[in-house]
Structure 1
């Protein structure tokens, strides 16, 4: 079953929110711990903005955005690092995986960046994808490119050139 994006709601997590009532498990302990243990610290220290994704009243996913800079040598203008926004964490509840919520999250992150890029220049969307063919293929469907691929590395840096979305 694919979710109709009209049935999904985005909520920006803030310090007054509570996550205690939600039964969320994405199957990855690190991503679960980030949400329930670290997310408020990241908000409090201005390190990330976290967005929660709801279907009705159930928490079905989340993602975080933070500032980043990436080095790319193929652009016409030679610049040390280029401004980017990083999707630091992205997770979907196990009960709702493979139903289009991850795609909704990527499209939502892109939409947020496109809305803000006129106020602060952003050239790229970056992500450190798990070094797994299925994960890399998922991001590749959205035109993310591999920045650097090292065989035994846990994460693979990938990027999307926002200018290509115009």
Structure 2
């Protein structure tokens, strides 16, 4: 998979296609969740305690990147619908034009696919598992926009330079320049 939305990003995975598989979270996966351990305790807790219920309530859908034998969770992503609210219309660029160049009453809010959670097990960091799931999110957003409109991927990245840097390397842009004093950093990826 690759982000084929008009960007020049390339897959950054060290997994071959036979090494991993993606599965929508199901009750049968519950016994695998306890062993998942990312750097972020809140992300671990969400997967282990809340993700199934969240999905049952139709608040988000979680996808697991599993090893070849489906015995271990490498990474996970939780997706839901969201909205990109533009804080500064003068500088924001939409489809190659500054938003300020659109009609004055043009909306400042756009439909987006929200990456609510994205995490990788510590033992698997740096191998590209999160990139595989990010590619899945791009594919899903592109498919969704044909039926209901979806112009962006949206993420509220944990305010950590390493995490924000990863999203930036993956093609996301941030609305703020610094992580200082923030819990999360709103970031977006425009679908071409």
Q: Same fold (TM over 0.5)?
A: yes
Matched, 1:84 2:84: no
Which of 156, 163, 166 is equivalent to 2:185?
Answer: 156
Per the normalisation by structure 2, the TM-score is: 0.78
The answer to whether the 8 Å contact 2:141/2:152 transfers is no
The alpha-carbon deviation at position 35 of structure 1 amounts to: 0.5
* 1:126 corresponds to: 154
Shift of 1:55: 1.3
C-alpha contact 2:32 2:73 (8 A) present in aligned 1: no
User: Relative contact order (C-alpha < 8 Å, sep 6+): which is higher?
Assistant: 2
Q: Which moved more, 1:147-156 or 1:109-118?
A: 147-156
Superposition pairs of residues 7-22 of structure 1, within 5 angstroms: 7-14=19-26, 16-22=27-33
- Partners of 1:149 and 1:109 in 2: how far apart? 25
Deviation beyond 4 Å, 4+ runs, structure 1: none
RMSD of the TM alignment (CA)?
Answer: 1.8
Report the Cα distance in structure 2 between the residues aligned to 1:137 and 1:129, rounded to whole angstroms. Answer: 10
State whether residues 86 and 126 of structure 1, in contact with CA within 8 Å, keep that contact through their aligned partners in structure 2.
Answer: yes
- Which range is displaced more, 39-48 or 22-31? 22-31
Q: Is the 8 A contact 1:149 1:157 kept in 2?
A: no
In structure 2, relative to structure 1, the CA distance for the partners of 1:107 and 1:6 (3 Å cut) is farther
Change in 2 beyond 3 A, CA 1:68/1:149: farther
1:3 to 5, 15, 32: 15
Aligned length: 162
**Cα displacement string for residues 95-137 of structure 1 (whole angstroms, at most 9, x for unaligned residues):** 1111111211211211111122101100110001111211111
Q: Structure 1: 5+ residue runs without aligned partners?
A: none
Match of 1:93 in 2: 121
Deviation at 1:138, TM superposition (A): 0.8
Alpha-carbon shift at residue 81 of structure 1 (Å): 1.3
CA distance in 1, matches of 2:21, 2:78: 15
Deviates more, 1:145-154 or 1:51-60: 145-154
Counterpart CA distance in 2 for 1:142 and 1:162 is: 13
Deviation at 1:90, TM superposition (A): 0.5
Aligned to 1:70: 84
Contact 1:149-1:156 within 8 A present in 2 as well: no
CA distance in 2, matches of 1:116, 1:8: 24
CA contact (8 A) 1:66 1:87 kept: yes
